[in-house]
Every structure is written in C-alpha cells, then in structure tokens.
Amino acid sequence: MEHVVIVEDLWYKYSRAKDYALKSINLKVKKGEIVLITGPTGAGKSTLAYCLNGTIPHFITEGEMKGNVIVCGMNTREHRIPELAQKVGLVFDDPEIQVFGLTVYEAVAFGPSNLALPLNEITKRVEYALEACRLKGYEERNPNNLSGGEKQSVSIASALSMLPEVLVLDEATAMLDPIGRYRIFTIVKELKEKYGITSIVIAQEVDEIAPFADRMIVMNKGEIVLEGPPRKVLEEYETLKKIGVKIPQAAELYVRLKEKGLLRGEKLPLTVKEAAEIVKKLIETKKLSIKKKSKSIGKKEARIEEKPIIKVDNVTFEYPGGPVALKEVNLEIYPGEFIAIIGQNGSGKTTLVKHFNGLLKPTKGRVLVEGKDTREFTIAELSRTVGYVYQIPDVMLFHPTVEEELAYGPRNLGLPEEEIRRRVDWALKVLGLEEYRRELPATLPRGLRKRVAIGAILTMKPKVLVVDEPTTGQDWIESFYIMNTLAELNKEGYTIVVITHEMELAAMYAKRIIVMSAGRILLDGPPEEVFTKKDNLAQASLKPPQIIDIALELRKLGVDPHILSVDEFLEEFGLK
C-alpha cells in the first residue's frame, strides 16, 4: 500500500535549545491509516507535527533539521507551506491562531475558497464540516465570542473543509467535551472509509481514540519508544505509567486482573463493552464473586458551613447581541468545597464562573459573594475573595519572569514588598516552580504555564480558587501534579472550583459535581451518584469514566456502580 508520509532519520533542535527535540525519527504511514501519537509533555509530538506540514523548516526557520520528511510525494524541504497545505491539514492545539473570518461560516469556508473551487463545491464542503463538528446553527456567530471548545470545533471544521490527503490533529480535541471528541474521532474514521484520508492524531485521550486507531506510537524525550497496534502497546502498562501516558481504565482493569492470574488468552479491551464482557465471564465462571459491602454515597462530602461563600440567585445572562448563556441558574457554594463543573462545550460553564468574581454581571438575578452583590463591587475588590484562572494561561502571562508574574497581583493589592516576597516564595514552592522563578513564562511548557497562571492568582490569597480546564492537553503526570496541588490547597481551607472535560479526574478529586447543559444546571451531587446518571450525562454530551461505565454494564449481575476508581472496582470482588 502507498505510503503518504515517510519520515527518514529526522532530527530537529530548536534555536538556543540544549538538546534535540526529535532524535532519529523514522516513520512510514500508509494511505488511509489512522495513527495515534501520544506521550508526555515535551516528548516532541508537536515538533513532529510541525515537520509534517512544513511549519518546520519554512516558518520556524532558525532551528537545526537533519533527515527528510516526504508527504504525498513532496519533500517538505523543497516545497513551501502553501503547496503543502493543499495536501496536509494541521489543526493546532490553540484555536486562536488559526481561525480566520468574522463568522463561523467564513472561517470554515476560508480554506476551500482559497483553492478556487466552484461555489457549489465550497458550499458542500462547508456544510459537511459544520455538521460533522456540531456547528449547525453557529454559522453567523463571531468565532471570537465562542467558548474555547467551540473555537476548537471551528478550527477542526476549517481543516475538514479542505478534505486534505493527510489530516494532522495536534491535541486538537483536548478542549472538546467527551461526546464532541468521540464525534471527531468518528469523523476521522469516516474520512478514512469514504475518502481514504490519512489521519495522524496527537492526543492524551488514549481511551477515546485507541478504538479508532490502526496504530499507536508512544514518544518520549524526542524518540519513538513504543509502536504497534493499540492493544499491543497498551499491554506495556508499567512503561506507559512510568513516562506519564494516560492508561484507559478498561486496559488498567485488564492488566490488574491478569496480574492476579484471572485471565488466560483474552485480548486487551479497548472499549467499555469489551471490558465488561471479560468481567462478566469471570463472574459467570465463578472466578470472581461479588463481596457485598455497604456504600456511603457522598462519603467525600465537604464540611458544609451555614452560609454559602457564593450564592447564584436565579441568574440569567445574555451576551450583547448573542445567545442566552445562563437561564435561571440557582447555586450555592460553601467554604471548603472541592467542586467540578462539567458539561458540553457552550453549556455555560465558563460564563457561570465568570460571574463569581464580577468579570460578568447578571442580566437578571443576582450573585452574592460573602453576602455582597457583585454588581456593587469592582473586579479588583471581588478578586480578594474569588480568584479566576483562565482556560488558556497565555492570556494572563505578560511579565518577563515567573516571580514577577506571581508578584503582580499582591503588588496591585498594595501589600508591603516583604509580604509580596513571602507570598511569591510560598507559591513557587507549592507549585513546584522554584527552579523556574527567573524564566520567561511564555517559553515554558503548557503545564508549567498553567501552574504559573495559578500562582499569579494564588499569591493574592483568595478564599475561592476557580480554575478553568486545569489539565487540558497535558500528560497524566502533569495533570496529577496540578490536581494534587489543588487538593492540598483544599485541605488547607481553600474552596476549589474547577471546570474540566476530564471525567476521570473529576471523579477522583471533586467532592461535588455540577453538570451543566444549555445554560442550566442539570445535575448536582456527589460524584458517586452523578456519574451513574448515564442518560442525563448523555443529554449534556458527557460520558461517565470508563470504570463506572463498566460497572453500570454489570449492574444486573450485582456490581455496585457507585465506585470512582479501578481500585474500588476490584474491592467489589475482594481484590486489592
């Protein structure tokens, strides 16, 4: 079969970098193949993507490149980006840099229009891409007014409308809700079957893309360390865990059962149904027996004080000239809670939390922070109680060093320099940023930039810390680091509110889950309860974590679905 991507002994080192970002990469991709590339932050995944469409060496020009990249018969050294763009569609992880147009329709039509295609063909492609990316009804919306996930959907649709021979998604689904991601991966499969399009998907969401992938490649420190069919690669459990690759809970359960000698010859499961079938057979053959034990639903319930620190009272919010983003929302948040707000892109999550510190004011209703109406106070005054960390950290970072970034907030509060230094040193230590204190924030990896953004708010010592998508696009080790840090701050008395599309992390860390859909609160309760409401979650374009979904599949056999981890699942059967 024809190879549409050939990478020959590729090395690349960025200007001023000490080490090579890519080291002797050799790779061949067949026409129509779906390849998943994953690995920890800094593994070289994005650098490889830049080499596939000519960004390296034609746009990023100052680095050192050795070896060859041949895409659709074109050596990227010899062909310019406009030529390569007609064959290779690259969607970056940041939608802000690649959405052009005053409306969503214009943005999606931009690419095919530049190919000088007939109007009916442009229309056909745009309609297909809009439908595929769940953007019908958004045609006349200004992309700048969309949520981060919606913007990313627009950037993916813009690439799809080009019908490239090779589609490269570089963490392009990280901002999407679970069902939105599933839809994109379904489209990737459809593009293969209908048009023979080759897709290279760089992602951390291994559990969601692996069932669609023909091949899985794991990178670490600029090298390919594992390669093969997803089932085979996921068998390398310890290696994946060590380098920080997210291991699907279905695969982890399989490995744990295999280690206990309960499995013989079964294939590693890639889906919930495959994993549930394996456990079902173990139960039916008496190799596993359920150990009944009482469950305390809501056992992680926070200590609730009498008065809420934030009260949302019948709030409706309508953007000027835009949609109604919140509809009669009522919510109370109490001191010491750890809350995860989840929901599909555009459900109103970010709009809601921006009301907590006065970034937005209600169209109707009121928001009270420590009993004070936010309409009567400035953002600066409210920031002493509620700190908000944006989804994209770069919009918050503008100082030449990390320590100056962290000092900015408390300095604006008028604190003495000695107190500012104390707070900066404390935040640097809490967030593991001490060795980066004199680094330029913009040059740090995504995960560290997020930590700096959190630190910039933390040094103001707010009582409530709101973090929008704390782990988007980060490897599992970095994700755990940030979530563990937030959990420690919660233990110290901080009220933590996170918006996340990572259902597994929400289940592991949050004491309370709020599910939003179409501007309203759909569910509100402890994670053990909320994540069993599969139909309600589907209404919000969400899915429960794999291990809970597996338990739900086995409910009729007596398995209690009110569990939050693989460990808890195994405990159902007396296994630890």
Residue from 568, 569, 548, 576 nearest 283 by CA: 569
Count of other CB atoms within 10 angstroms of residue 480: 17
pTM for this predicted structure: 0.87
pLDDT for res 301? 47
What pLDDT is recorded for position 293? 61
pLDDT of res. 460 = 94
pLDDT tens, 397-427?
A: 889 999 999 999 999 889 999 999 999 999 9
Is the pLDDT at 97 greater than 60? The verdict is yes
Q: How far apart are CA 124 and CA 131, in angstroms?
A: 11
Start-end of CATH 3.40.50.300 domains in the chain:
3-240, 310-544
Nearest to 70 by CA among 11, 10, 159, 1: 10
Q: How far apart are CA 136 and CA 199, in angstroms?
A: 24
Cβ(383)–Cβ(443) under 8 Å? no
Q: Give the CA angle between residues 337, 343, 348 to the nearest 5°.
A: 90
Q: What per-residue string of b and e applies to 191-220 under the rule 16 or more CB within 10 Å gives b?
A: bbeeeebbbbbbbbbbbbbbbbbebbbbbb
pLDDT band for 296, please (50, 70, 90 cuts).
low
Distance CA 293, CA 308 (A): 34
Token couple for 315 = 């709030």
Residue with tokens 């934030």: 310
* CA–CA gap between residue 254 and residue 116 (Å, rounded): 52
Task: Measure the CA–CA gap between 531 and 509, rounded to whole angstroms.
Answer: 13
pLDDT at 75 over 70: yes
Q: What is the pLDDT confidence band of residue 178, given thresholds at 50, 70 and 90?
A: confident
CATH top class, domain 310-544: alpha beta
- Using the predicted structure, report yes or no on whether residue 318 has a pLDDT greater than 50: yes
pLDDT bracket for residue 332 (50, 70, 90): very high
pLDDT of res. 176: 81
Amino acid at 532: T
How far apart CA 269 and CA 253 sit, in angstroms, is 9
Considering 302-306, 393-397, 558-562, the range whose residues carry the highest mean pLDDT is: 558-562
The second-level CATH assignment, the architecture, of 3-240 is 3-Layer(aba) Sandwich (3.40)
- Give the pLDDT confidence score for residue 13 in this predicted structure: 95
Residue percentage of the chain with pLDDT more than 90: 70
Q: Work out the average pLDDT over 179-203.
A: 88
Q: What is the mean pLDDT of the chain?
A: 91
